[in-house]
Amino acid sequence: MSKKTGIVKDTRYLQHSAGFAHPESPERLAAIYEMLDNPLMHWKFTHLEPREATHKEIETIHSHSYIEFIASTAGQSCVYLDPDTATSPETYEIAKLAVGGVCNAIDSVIEGKVDNAFAFVRPPGHHAEKDTAKGFCVFNNIAIGAMHAILKHGLKRILIVDWDLHHGNGTQHSFYNDPRVLYFSTHQYPYYPGTGSLQEIGRGPGEGYTINVPLREGAGDASFVTIFHKILEPVALEYQPELILLSAGFDTYFQDPLGGMRVTPEGFAAMMRILLNIADACCQGRLVAVLEGGYHVAGLTRSVKAVLEEMLDETHVSEKRLSLLEKEVDEETSHLINKVISGIRPYWKVF
C-alpha cells in the first residue's frame, strides 16, 4: 500500500548564500526542486508549508547570545561564522525557516497528516553547536526538531540516525547526556569535524545512547546496509523509538567531491528501507528526513529520488536484496561491526 509522504520545499531556501563557488550552494536544492516539480513526480507528495521558528524553539538547543549574534547578521552582506560558514543578508531568516520547516514536518507526521516526510531545507544543521556555527551549518535543525517533538508532543524516545559523510558533532553534543534521544551515526573517519570515535558513547544518563560507526574511506552499499542491519536495527527494536529522525546527507555518494565513500542511489534506498521497517515496527511508520550534505548535484538528486520512492513505497527493497548486499561486505567492515557491538554490549540486552 502506498504511503503518504510530505515534503517541505520553499524557494526562499535558495536565498541563503554561503559565498561564491561554495559547495553548499543554492543549486543543490534547485536541482532537487526541479526533480520534484516534474509532472511525473509533483502529484505524489503532500506539500508541507514551512514557517519561521521562534527564538524560544531555537533556544532549546542554542544559547540566547548565539541566536542574537546570528540575528545581528541580518541585512549584512557577508559575515564569516567560521572558516567554512558565512552568511548572506537573508541567512538569519532562512535559517529560522529551515528549523520551522523541520518542526512542521514533525508535527504533520506525529499528527498523522502524512505517514513520513522529507524536509528539503538549507542551511544544513548537524554541525551547529550550542553557541557556534560550524561546517556550513547555522542552527541545528534536527536537534531543535527533536526537542520540539519532546516538548510539544511529549515524546520520550527519539532515534536520530545520521548517515551524512561527516559526523554530526552538534547533534551528538546536544543529547550526549540525554537518554530521550538515541543518536546513531555512520561517517568517514578520521575526517572533518574530528569527532565520532568508537569511544564516544554518551555520558551520565545518556551513556550507551550515542553509537558511532567510524568508517574508513571507500565504504559502499554493502558496508552501510550491513551496519544498519546488524547494529542499528537490533538496538532500535530494543529502544522502541516513538519517532525516527534522519540527518540525510548524500555526500557518501560515490562521486561526491568532498568525500571518499562509494554509496549508490540504490544503497541510499536500501538504508531507507531498513529505517522504514524499524519505523513500521516501532512507531506507526513515523519518520522525518532532513537534508544535510551532498555536493555532487546530479548524484544528490538521483539519490534523493531513490529515497523518496522508497518512502512512498513505490519501490520496496526486498529482504532478499538486502541480504545479497550483506553477503558482499568486506572483512574490515565486519571487524568494525564487532568492535562497535563490543563497546555498546553493556548497554543493550540484544547483544
Mind listing the pLDDT tens digit for each residue in 41-76? Answer: 999 999 999 999 999 999 999 999 999 999 999 999
Residues 6+ apart with CB under 8 A from 111: none
CA-wise closest residue to 69 among 148, 24, 147, 129: 129
Q: Please determine, looking at this structure, whether the domain spanning 5-347 carries the CATH number 3.90.230.10.
A: no
Residue type, 129: E
Helices (H), the chain: 26-37, 55-58, 64-72, 91-110, 141-153, 169-174, 221-227, 233-239, 265-282, 297-311, 319-327, 331-344
CA-wise closest residue to 232 among 132, 129, 344, 321: 344
In whole numbers, what is the pLDDT of the chain averaged over residues?
A: 98
Contact 55, 124 (CB under 8 A): no
CA-wise closest residue to 329 among 257, 267, 256: 267
pLDDT digits (tens, 9 = 90+) for 246-279: 999 999 999 999 999 999 999 999 999 999 999 9
Is the model's pLDDT at 281 over the cut of 80? yes
Confidence of residue 2 (pLDDT cuts 50, 70, 90): confident
The residues spanned by each domain of the chain are: 5-347
DSSP state of 312: T
Contact 45, 36 (CB under 8 A): yes
- Whether residue 190 has a cis bond before it, omega within 30° of 0: yes
pLDDT of residue 92: 98
Is the model's pLDDT at 8 over the cut of 90? yes
Q: Kindly list the catalytic residues.
A: 127
Three-class SS of 11-78: HHHHHCCCCCCCCCCHHHHHHHHHHHHCCCCHHHCEECCCCCCCHHHHCCCCCHHHHHHHHHCCCCCC
pLDDT digits (tens, 9 = 90+) for 186-238: 999 999 999 999 999 999 999 999 999 999 999 999 999 999 999 999 999 99
Per-residue exposure over 207-223, b if at least 16 CB sit within 10 Å of its own CB, e if not: ebbbbbbbbeeebbbbb
Confidence of residue 26 (pLDDT cuts 50, 70, 90): very high
State the angle between helix axes of 91-110 and 64-72 in degrees (0 to 180), rounded to the nearest 10: 130
pLDDT of residue 1: 74
Q: How much is the average pLDDT of 328-341?
A: 98
Confidence of residue 82 (pLDDT cuts 50, 70, 90): very high
Confidence of residue 185 (pLDDT cuts 50, 70, 90): very high
Is the model's pLDDT at 32 over the cut of 80? yes
Query: What is the pTM assigned to this prediction?
Result: 0.99
